[in-house]
């Protein structure tokens, strides 16, 4: 049983939260002896749908082992993330099967990993082959949508694949979307050069998310007839945004949030395997990348084409507040409740009976990130310290 004291992220009320097992058992008012403003905030822990790796390890690496998976997952507790979707990007069938099998095995061997990984994200290989839309995904492995191939991936993953990003215009995409949705897999549209009509066809078939809207697209598109406006305007579609300070400018983030509302926006950091590494040039089988002194992660040899992010989810939450002018509550909900609801997992609203997925942190307006003091996942203290531990 854990006892946590802090200010509710949604009301600012000082409370004492007691957990029992993997659930919140009780929430009661509390009375600080000092200034209320000195108390940390307590909020639902973060749930990131798109994490590619950490510290030099990529989930897409064909040599991935269960031990590497555990080593890569654990650091995210420090950033308030207690649930995430390991993301495998465009690669050979053999490499993807090996990666998903390693993740599955890690979850079978470790209870905390199984709790942290409620599902996996397959980003590609069923995406646009066009430069710009393809992003940093390797062209040699981009291919048409293939349901039989996906079923082999799902078998290797033990059913863990819960989210697939694809381009709706590629051969076989619409039928793939229908089959995936019928099988309980969430489909996201991304890395696409689709026409508005093709975007609508994808949504009509069952797609419910747009992957990192504003990225993974050509630099030059028609000013009116394009996939961006169609995704932005369709209320059936939630969109994810990478608010790391490099992927999107502040004015665009603000405009997207105003159009979609905070309920239909998901914050992701899209952390690359190089996240957590110092500035420098790095190379893997997926290509050469460089972390610039600013933290911007790019394809090596230039400074514009992005290769993912080197920042974590808590940074993206803080920058969403600055960029879009939303409240602390709304920003955290976009990185916790919204992704959980999208994938059909339990959400946390700080009520008795809710899952004990919590973070304790300090934050003041203008801070560059959340200063996470503790993270509770599955009812257990996974990182840091809390005021009381009964």
Q: What percent of the chain has pLDDT over 90?
A: 92
Q: What percent of the chain has pLDDT over 70?
A: 99
52-347 has which fold? TIM Barrel (3.20.20)
Phi, psi of 107 (to 5 degrees): -70, -35
Q: Mind listing the pLDDT tens digit for each residue in 47-98?
A: 999 999 999 999 999 999 999 999 999 999 999 999 999 999 999 999 999 9
Whether the model pTM is above 0.85? yes
62 belongs to the catalytic site: no
- The end-to-end CA distance of the chain, in Å, is 6
Q: Mind listing the pLDDT tens digit for each residue in 120-145?
A: 999 999 999 999 999 889 999 999 99
Q: Which tops the pLDDT comparison, 299 or 151?
A: 151
Write down the mean pLDDT value for the chain: 96
Contacts of residue 357, defined as CB under 8 A and 6 or more positions apart, other chains included, come to 44, 45, 47, 82, 83, 336, 348, 376, 377, 378
Report CA-CA distances (Å) from 45 to 59, 84, 374.
Answer: 22, 11, 10
Q: Residues of CATH 3.20.20.140 domain(s) within the chain? A: 52-347
Report pLDDT for 389.
38
387: pLDDT confidence band, cut at 50, 70 and 90? low
Report pLDDT for 304.
83
Given 270, 322, 330, 354, which residue is catalytic? 270
Q: Mind listing the pLDDT tens digit for each residue in 156-189?
A: 999 999 999 999 999 999 999 999 999 999 999 9
């Amino acid at each position: 049983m854990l006892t946590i004291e802090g200010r509710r992220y949604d009301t600012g009320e000082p409370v004492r939260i007691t957990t029992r097992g993997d659930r919140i058992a009780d929430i009661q008012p509390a009375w600080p002896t000092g200034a209320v403003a000195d108390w940390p905030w307590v909020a639902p822990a973060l749930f990131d749908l798109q994490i590619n790796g950490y510290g030099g390890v990529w989930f897409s690496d064909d040599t991935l082992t269960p031990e590497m998976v555990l080593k890569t997952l654990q650091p995210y507790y420090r950033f308030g993330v207690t649930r995430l979707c390991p993301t495998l990007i465009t690669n050979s069938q053999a490499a993807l099967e090996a990666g998903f099998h390693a993740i599955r095995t890690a979850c079978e061997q470790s209870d905390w990993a199984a709790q942290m990984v409620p599902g996996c994200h397959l980003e590609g290989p069923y995406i646009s082959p066009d430069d710009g839309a393809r992003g940093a995904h390797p062209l040699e492995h981009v291919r048409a949508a293939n349901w039989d191939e996906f079923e082999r991936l799902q078998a290797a993953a033990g059913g863990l694949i819960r989210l697939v990003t694809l381009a709706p215009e590629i051969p076989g995409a619409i039928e793939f979307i229908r089959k995936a949705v019928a099988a309980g897999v969430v489909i996201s549209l991304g890395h696409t050069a689709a026409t508005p009509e093709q975007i609508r066809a994808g949504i009509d078939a069952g797609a419910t998310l747009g992957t990192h809207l504003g990225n993974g697209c050509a630099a030059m598109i028609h000013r009116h007839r394009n996939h961006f406006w169609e995704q932005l305007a369709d209320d059936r579609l939630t969109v994810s945004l990478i608010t790391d300070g490099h992927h999107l400018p502040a004015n665009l983030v603000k405009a997207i949030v105003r159009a979609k509302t905070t309920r239909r926006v998901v914050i992701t950091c899209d952390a690359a395997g190089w996240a957590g590494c110092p500035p420098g040039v790095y190379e893997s089988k997926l290509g050469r990348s460089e972390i610039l002194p600013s933290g911007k992660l790019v394809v090596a040899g230039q400074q514009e084409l992005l290769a993912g992010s080197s920042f974590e989810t808590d940074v993206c939450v803080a920058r969403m507040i600055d960029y879009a002018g939303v409240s602390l509550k709304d920003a955290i909900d976009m990185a916790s409740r919204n992704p959980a609801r999208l994938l059909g997992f339990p959400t946390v609203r700080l009520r008795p009976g809710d899952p004990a997925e919590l973070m304790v942190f300090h934050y003041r307006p203008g801070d560059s990130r959340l200063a996470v003091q503790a993270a509770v996942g599955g009812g257990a203290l996974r990182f840091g310290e809390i005021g009381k531990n009964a």
